[in-house]
Amino acid sequence: MTSICVFLGSSSGNHPAYMMAAGAMGRELAERGLTCVYGGSCTGLMKQLADSALAAGGRVVGVTVQALKDKENFHPGLTQLHVLPTMHERKNLMVQLADGFVALPGGIGTFEEFFEVYTLGQMGFHSKPCGLLNVNGFYTPLELMLDTAAKEGFLKNPLQKSIIRAESPAEMLDLLIEQI
Q: Is residue 73 part of a domain?
A: yes
Separation of CA 26 from chain center: 11
Q: Is residue 37 part of a domain?
A: yes
Pick from 19-33, 106-120, 146-160: least confident = 146-160
Distance between CA atoms of 35 and 48, rounded to whole angstroms? 15
Distance between CA atoms of 9 and 2, rounded to whole angstroms? 23
Q: Is residue 160 part of a domain?
A: no
Report how many domains make up the chain. Answer: 1
Q: Is residue 24 part of a domain?
A: yes
Strand (E) or helix (H) holding 3: strand 3-7
Task: Look up the domain containing 169 and give its range.
Answer: 3-137+165-175
Distances from the Cα of 102 to the Cα of 44, 154, 168, angstroms: 17, 23, 12
**The model's pTM:** 0.95
Q: Is residue 143 part of a domain?
A: no
pLDDT greater than 80 at residue 160 = no
Q: Is residue 8 part of a domain?
A: yes
Q: Is residue 75 part of a domain?
A: yes
Distance between CA atoms of 28 and 34, rounded to whole angstroms? 8
Packing angle, helices 108-122 and 87-97, rounded to 10: 60
Q: What is the pLDDT of residues 108-126, one digit of tens each?
A: 999 999 999 999 998 899 9
Q: Is residue 39 part of a domain?
A: yes
Query: What is the number of helices (H) and of strands (E) in the chain?
Result: 8, 7
Distance between CA atoms of 120 and 95, rounded to whole angstroms? 9
pLDDT greater than 70 at residue 175 = yes
The CATH number of residue 38's host domain is 3.40.50.450
Q: Quick one: average pLDDT of 33-53?
A: 96
Separation of CA 110 from chain center: 8
Q: Does residue 143 or residue 97 have the better pLDDT? A: 97
